């Protein structure tokens, strides 16, 4: 019982609620922050929105008892990534065949994700509910400004609630729908799994409210905007097999002059050689001139953080970058670096300082994902495949302190050759340390002695207009307007420096062509499992079917996960995550069904 209550009641530290302090306190705790003395004015409600932003950015943080980030749970185990060096605590994301009884180590991960998302749901519900308190001071100079401030808070809270349910429904399917603040007086142990279609009705209303009450472009893109709400509402209409509504919602965003793809070098430290695609990641803020990123997470080194602000470690770099320093051949690099030979720094510190920060190879691009860049013979030209967007070169410092490529017999040791171990379905830990990886998340620590630590403290982009363009193209394609759809796909391809696709290309390859382009543009960034589940479920489709987009594409593009014996060629293998056992057991007032296949 305690677990389900905790899951649906627990909120951020700044959002404690549901207690009757008068029952056990003789005076009001004005020296502490509680919802009762925080949610009394506009500033207090803004603090709660900051708490929700903090909860949201956990997606880029590491899971407890697991080497993978939450984003990896939503992105790994599909057609374009495989679990390299994942270990036994994460091999479930390789979709290996496993017994129906979920292992305890896996179940802890599913519990954490489930609880995290319901923390966001209930915190949002509390904020929405408390805005109706007529005594709140909304800080407006007149009634209209006060109402605007109130609606801004409600719009952001409703966005976060819909955003959390987006993850929940794609990951778990039907889950309990909660739209009221849960207190000690109304908690339940008889929750039911609400059909996804009903949950989406609430999500549509929430995203629409955010569109109506937030600016299309915020003062800076570390604040929520109507642009984000339009993006996710458009995706939601596609999930509901309604491309006409998706077009209607997305069109004002893609045609707005507020956002565009960055095509020229820019930012704090433009890439060398020039690569505006990577500049988008290294300088994600509006203040840096970035008009492509709709939203990013701010971050800072712990030693630079403002007093009272604890930065959350980002682990995207560690998750998506290979563990090159562990390869036997690559370890011969950087041995002459003065910092190493003098004993000032360890080998690992020197190596990672010279190679964009430490990676641990948790999720790597699939062999087929790499092949996709050679579409129309463009592999040598595609900016997204070349340095500095993809790591193909190991750098070393020589005895004179000069940085140069590390070559073996005149060649780079980075190798995308498929090994026998990768194709062996009995292997749970593969550890191919010389596999190429994306450099979207590179970050070199500012303190040299921290050069080999896992987290990264740079600002991290979360959503880009390039993603929206491809969603819009998908909606146009599904409406039957191929001529217009290719214009938006080609905008993305043009920035990458590759040739256009044609209407005949789109007619021949259909949705697979758009999914291919999404992989090329959004590799190790997109929540890829969500996308493939969405398109597999549209029009009543079953995400477990052997020949749907999810399993078919995984077999075609991911020789590691798609090899016979790992389940992608059988209906028995579930795609949705399991409802955590303790959630089911704690719901003592009514049986809660488990997802099929567990």
- State the DSSP H helix or E strand holding residue 280, giving kind and residue range, or none if neither: helix 276-282
pLDDT of residue 108: 79
- State the DSSP H helix or E strand holding residue 396, giving kind and residue range, or none if neither: strand 395-397
The full DSSP string for 504-550 is HHHHHHTHHHHHHHHHHHHTTTS-HHHHHHHHHHGGG--TT-TTSHH
In the block, residue with structure tokens 């800076």? 220
- Residues sharing a CB contact under 8 Å with residue 537, sequence separation 6 or more, in sequence order: 239, 543
Please give the Cα distance from 552 to 556 (Å, whole number): 6
Please give the Cα distance from 471 to 477 (Å, whole number): 10
Identify any residues that bridge with 395 across adjacent strands, giving them in sequence order: 405
Q: What are the angstrom distances between the C-alpha of 413 and each of 297, 390, 451, 548?
A: 34, 14, 22, 37
Q: Is the dihedral of CA 338, 341, 346, 350 positive or negative?
A: positive
- Among residues 126, 124, 105, 135, the alpha carbon closest in space to that of 34 is found at 126
pLDDT of residue 102: 55
End-to-end CA distance of the chain: 22
Domains of the chain, by residue range, sit at: 2-214+579-586
- Name the H helices within 380-481: 465-479
Q: What are the angstrom distances between the C-alpha of 566 and each of 66, 471, 543?
A: 21, 30, 16
Let me know: does 387 contact 482? Beta carbons within 8 Å. Answer: no
- State the DSSP H helix or E strand holding residue 295, giving kind and residue range, or none if neither: strand 293-297
Report how far Cα 38 is from the mean position of its chain's Cα atoms. 31
Copy the structure tokens of residue 474.
């998908």
Please give the Cα distance from 463 to 480 (Å, whole number): 27
pLDDT of residue 16: 34
DSSP 98: -
The full DSSP string for 168-204 is HHHHHSSB----S---TTT--S----B-HHHHHHHHH
Let me know: does 524 contact 365? Beta carbons within 8 Å. Answer: yes
Mind listing the pLDDT tens digit of every residue in the chain (598 residues)?
344 444 443 433 333 333 333 333 344 444 455 667 899 999 999 999 999 999 999 999 987 767 788 999 999 989 999 999 886 555 666 665 654 455 554 577 889 999 999 999 999 999 999 999 999 999 989 999 999 999 999 999 999 999 999 999 999 999 999 999 988 788 889 999 999 999 999 999 999 999 999 999 999 999 999 999 999 999 999 999 999 999 999 999 999 999 999 999 999 999 999 999 999 999 999 999 999 999 999 988 776 554 444 456 789 999 999 999 999 999 999 999 999 999 999 999 999 999 999 999 899 999 999 999 999 999 999 999 999 999 999 999 999 999 999 999 999 999 999 999 999 988 877 899 999 999 999 999 989 999 999 999 999 999 999 999 999 999 999 999 999 999 999 999 999 999 999 999 999 999 999 999 999 999 999 999 999 999 999 999 999 999 999 999 999 999 999 999 899 999 999 999 999 988 999 999 999 999 998 8
- Residues sharing a CB contact under 8 Å with residue 428, sequence separation 6 or more, in sequence order: 86, 87, 88, 91, 94, 96
Residue 137, helix vs strand vs coil: strand
CA dihedral 374, 546, 103, 61 (to 10 degrees): 40
Please give the Cα distance from 289 to 268 (Å, whole number): 9
pLDDT of residue 3: 46
pLDDT of residue 310: 44
**Burial call 556-574: b when 16+ CB within 10 Å, e when fewer:** ebbbbbbbeebbbbeeebb
Please give the Cα distance from 445 to 348 (Å, whole number): 13
- Among residues 552, 354, 331, 347, the alpha carbon closest in space to that of 444 is found at 354
Please give the Cα distance from 425 to 445 (Å, whole number): 37
Beta strand 437-438 with 390-391: parallel, antiparallel or unpaired?
antiparallel
A 10 A CB-CB count for 407 gives 13
pLDDT of residue 212: 98
pLDDT of residue 89: 57
Report how far Cα 482 is from the mean position of its chain's Cα atoms. 29
A 10 A CB-CB count for 482 gives 17
Which fold would CATH assign to domain 2-214+579-586? Answer: 1.25.40
Copy the structure tokens of residue 320.
């998506």
pLDDT of residue 77: 85
Report how far Cα 575 is from the mean position of its chain's Cα atoms. 18
In the block, residue with structure tokens 């109304």? 186
Please give the Cα distance from 311 to 54 (Å, whole number): 9
Copy the structure tokens of residue 172.
């778990």
Let me know: does 367 contact 378? Beta carbons within 8 Å. Answer: no
**Cis peptide bond prior to 440, omega within 30° of 0:** no
């Amino acid at each position: 019982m305690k677990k389900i209550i905790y899951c649906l009641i627990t909120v951020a530290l700044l959002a404690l609620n549901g207690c009757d302090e008068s029952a056990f306190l003789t005076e009001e705790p004005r020296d502490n922050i509680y919802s009762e003395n925080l949610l009394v004015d506009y500033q207090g409600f803004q603090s709660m929105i900051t708490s929700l932003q903090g909860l949201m950015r956990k997606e880029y943080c590491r899971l407890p008892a697991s080497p993978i980030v939450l984003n990896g749970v939503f992105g790994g185990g599909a057609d374009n990534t495989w679990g390299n060096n994942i270990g036994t605590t994460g091999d479930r994301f390789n979709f290996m065949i496993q017994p129906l009884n979920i292992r305890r180590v896996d179940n802890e991960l599913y519990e954490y994700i489930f609880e995290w998302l319901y923390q966001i749901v209930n915190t949002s519900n509390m904020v929405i509910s408390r805005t109706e308190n007529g005594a709140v001071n909304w800080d407006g100079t007149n009634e209209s400004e006060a109402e605007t401030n109130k609606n801004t808070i409600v719009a952001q809270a409703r966005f976060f609630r819909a955003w959390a349910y987006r993850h929940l429904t794609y990951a778990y399917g039907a889950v309990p729908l909660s739209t009221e603040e849960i207190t000690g007086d109304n908690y339940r142990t008889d929750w039911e799994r609400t059909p996804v279609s009903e949950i989406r009705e609430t999500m549509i209303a929430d995203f629409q409210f955010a569109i109506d009450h937030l600016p299309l472009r915020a003062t800076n893109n570390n604040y929520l905007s109507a642009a984000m709400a339009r993006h996710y509402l458009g995706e939601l209409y596609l999930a509901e097999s309604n491309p006409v509504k998706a077009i209607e919602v997305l069109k004002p965003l893609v045609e707005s002059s507020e956002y565009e793809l960055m095509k020229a070098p820019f930012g704090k430290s433009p890439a060398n050689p020039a690569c505006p695609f990577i500049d988008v990641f290294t300088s994600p803020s509006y203040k840096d001139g970035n008009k492509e990123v709709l939203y990013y997470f701010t971050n800072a080194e712990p030693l630079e953080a403002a007093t009272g602000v604890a930065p959350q470690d980002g682990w995207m770099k560690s998750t998506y970058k290979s563990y090159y320093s562990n390869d036997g051949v690559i370890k011969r690099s950087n041995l002459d670096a003065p910092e190493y030979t003098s004993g000032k720094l360890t080998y690992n510190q020197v190596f990672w300082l010279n190679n964009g920060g430490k990676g641990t190879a948790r999720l790597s691009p699939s062999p087929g994902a790499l092949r996709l860049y050679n579409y129309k013979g463009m592999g040598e030209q595609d900016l997204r495949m070349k340095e500095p967007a993809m790591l193909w070169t190991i750098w070393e410092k020589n005895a004179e302190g000069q940085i140069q490529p590390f070559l073996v017999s005149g060649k780079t040791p980075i190798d995308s050759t498929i090994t026998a171990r990768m194709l062996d379905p009995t292997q749970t830990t593969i550890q191919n340390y010389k596999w190429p990886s994306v450099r979207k998340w590179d970050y070199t620590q500012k303190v040299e002695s921290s050069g080999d630590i896992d987290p990264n403290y740079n600002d991290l982009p979360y959503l880009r207009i390039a993603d929206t363009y491809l969603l819009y193209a998908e909606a146009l394609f599904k409406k039957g307007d191929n001529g217009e759809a290719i214009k938006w796909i080609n905008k993305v391809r043009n920035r990458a420096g590759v040739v256009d696709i044609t209407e005949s290309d789109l007619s021949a390859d259909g949705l697979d062509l758009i999914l291919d382009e999404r992989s090329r543009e959004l590799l190790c960034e997109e929540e890829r499992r969500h996308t493939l589940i969405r398109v597999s479920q549209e029009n009543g489709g079953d995400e477990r079917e052997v020949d749907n987009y999810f399993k078919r594409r995984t077999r075609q593009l991911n020789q590691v996960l798609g090899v016979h014996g790992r389940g992608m060629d059988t209906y028995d293998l579930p795609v949705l995550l399991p409802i955590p056992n303790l959630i089911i057991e704690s719901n003592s007032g009514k049986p809660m069904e488990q997802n099929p296949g567990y």
